[in-house]
Amino acid sequence: MVGIGGYGFYYLKNLFEHFSDEEIEMSGVVDPFAANSGLYREIKRRRIPICNSLMDFYIKGGSADLVVISSPLQYHIEQSCIALINGGNVLCDKPLGTVIQDIDELLLARKQSGRWVMIGYQWSYSNAIQELKRDIISGLYGKPIRMKSLCFWPRGKDYYERNEWAGKLRDEKERWVLDSPLGNAMAHFIHNLFYLLGREMNESDQPAGIQGECYRTYPIQNYDTGVFRAYTACGVEILFYGSHVTACERGPMFHLEFEDGTVTFGDEQDRIVATTREGRKKDYGSPEDDDQFLKLHEAMKAVREDRPVICGPEAATAQVLCINGVQDSVEEIAAFPFDRLVMDEQKERFWIDGLGEELYACYRDNRLPSETNLPWAVPGKIIDLRNYVYFPGGRR
């Protein structure tokens, strides 16, 4: 288990609660700050080896059939490669990585090792998304036209002070982090739009071009509100709206438009419901109906059995391309008007008055903020992603 702070705590807790010592052997925990974990005493009680780095684990003779990576974003690809070349299969939590140029190294390591890599976008493993995707592939709703999603998750000062890389463009070693709502907390919902468009169950469609807008309220390097419009090579329009500085939480939600029907989730009801042109409805349930750690249980099964990987690097690449494209689209992150700023001293968080309503109206009307009369909105430039292989700038 690599990384047991933050979300990694819950991975490890799930392992302890759902798998007996007869089912799995915990061969090691990798975390330089393991002693800060709420599970540290249990780790010591079970006599699980603790290492500061994954290389240290292997140098000391460690081995594992499955390496679960829940470390900071900038370590995902590097640690996945180390695990692969040392004989481990990998479940890496989202996102796949931070910059597109690192992905080839991962694909090569996977090929040379003969092992597999799963990316932990939990919705992709849910029964609701899997059934919906099968119906989309079968052509039940016709040709896709537009896919859009929205998520407002307000965050306080503690969110950006919880570690050394939150809200950063680079870390102290100059590695790209690109931490943002779109690159981290809401990466699931960007990935989901492209995953549902994949022609095979283990594929996603890819963005061919993108235009982004990025805005900042907190004193951070990167943005806390981001929106974009992308297009696939087949001309499907993809829209996303995300913010950590709205007054209230809203979403995640999505609306999928096809020639012969629509599919909605999270706006009026927390179930995926499709409506055909003739008015027939199909209820898929919710992607939240399944445990979020179904991905972990699927990875355990894949170690023991020959099972296809339904969300690997190829499926997760679209989100990395989008994040890189959005950053390149925006020359300078814009600030919201100071007179719109509200501070909740009790909760120690900022929000922008009326922002949620304005962004929801953009979502409803399929527009970017800069395409409306909002005075604070600044358009980004259009970025061609068809041969985008290096961030920043696309090519090198």
Give the Cα separation of 70 and 271 in Å (integer).
28
Kindly report, residue by residue over 224-274, the tens digit of the pLDDT.
999 999 999 999 999 999 999 999 999 999 999 999 999 999 999 999 999
Q: At what angle do helices 187-196 and 127-138 cross, to 10 degrees?
A: 30
Residues 107 and 131 in one domain: no
CB 298 within 8 A of CB 125: yes
Which two structure tokens, joined as six digits, stand for 104?
């080839």
The whole-number pLDDT of residue 395 equals 85
C-alpha R_g of the chain: 21
Residue with tokens 């699931």: 188
Q: Do 162 and 103 belong together in one domain?
A: no
The token duo for 169 is: 């463009």
Q: What value does the mean pLDDT take over residues 201-216?
A: 98
Half-sphere exposure of 183 (CA within 13 A, CB side): 29
One-letter-per-residue 3-state SS of 114-177: CCCEEEECHHHHCHHHHHHHHHHHHCCCCCEEEEEEEEECCCCHHHHCCCCCCCCCECCCCCEC
Task: Give percent helix, percent strand, percent coil of the chain, each to the nearest 5.
Answer: 35, 25, 45
Averaged pLDDT score across all residues of the chain: 97
CATH number for the domain that contains residue 129: 3.30.360.10
Q: Which amino acid is at 27?
A: S
User: Domain end: 122, 149, 165, which one?
Assistant: 122
Return the CATH number at 101: 3.40.50.720
Number of domains in the chain: 2
Residue 223 lies in a domain: yes
The C-alpha atoms of residue 295 and residue 277 are separated, in whole angstroms, by 34
Q: 261-265 and 250-258: which strand pairing?
A: antiparallel
Mean pLDDT of 144-165: 97
pLDDT at 306: 87
Position 11 scores a pLDDT of 97
- The verdict on 231 and 276 lying in the same domain is yes
At 345, is the pLDDT very low, low, confident or very high (cuts 50, 70, 90)?
confident
Domain of 167, in residue numbers? 123-289+311-384
Which strand (E) or helix (H) includes residue 8? helix 7-18
As a whole number of angstroms, the distance between CA 88 and CA 82 comes to 9
Tokens of 141: 């709703």
Q: Do 184 and 315 sit in the same domain of this protein?
A: yes
Using one digit for the tens of pLDDT, what is the confidence trace for 127-142? 999 999 999 999 999 9
Q: Tell me what pLDDT residue 76 has.
A: 98
pLDDT value at residue 396: 60
Report DSSP state, residue 333. P
For residues 173 and 15, what is the distance between their CA atoms, to the nearest angstrom?
32
Q: Which tokens belong to 122?
A: 């939990």
- Residue 296 covered by a domain: no
In which band, very low, low, confident or very high, does the pLDDT at 166 lie, cut at 50, 70 and 90?
A: very high
pLDDT at 44 over 80: yes
Q: Are residues 200 and 274 in the same domain?
A: yes
Q: Which of 334, 351, 331, 294 is nearest to 91 (CA)?
A: 294
Is residue 20 over pLDDT 70? yes
Same domain, 40 and 70: yes
Whether 80 and 160 map to the same domain: the answer is: no
Residue 345 lies in a domain: yes
Residues 96 and 229 in one domain: no
Model pLDDT, residue 157: 95
Of 103, 122, 141, the domain-final residue: 122
pLDDT score of 323 more than 70:
yes
Examine the domain organization and report whether 110 and 193 are in the same domain.
Answer: no
For residue 295, is it within any domain? Answer: no
Residue 390, in any domain of the structure: no
pLDDT band, residue 346 (cuts 50/70/90): confident
Tokens (6 digits) for 272: 């995926």
Residue 221 has pLDDT above 90, yes or no: yes
Q: Is residue 24 part of a domain?
A: yes
Strand partners, 212: 228
Q: Are residues 208 and 258 in the same domain?
A: yes
Assigned domain for 294 exists? no
Q: Are residues 87 and 217 in the same domain?
A: no
Alpha carbon 247 to chain centroid, angstroms = 23
Please compute the mean of the pLDDT values over residues 67-80 and round it to a whole number: 98
Q: Is the pLDDT of residue 328 over 80?
A: yes
C-alpha 396/C-alpha 327 separation (Å) is: 17
225 and 319, same structural domain? yes
Q: Is the dihedral of CA 318, 319, 322, 323 positive or negative?
A: negative
Q: Which of 99, 122, 145 is the last residue of a domain?
A: 122
Contact (CB, 8 A) for 247 and 356: yes
User: Within a 13 Å sphere around the CA of 124, how many CA atoms are in the beta-carbon half?
Assistant: 33
Q: How many CA atoms lie within 13 A of 332 on its CB side?
A: 3
Q: Would 300 be classed as within a structural domain?
A: no
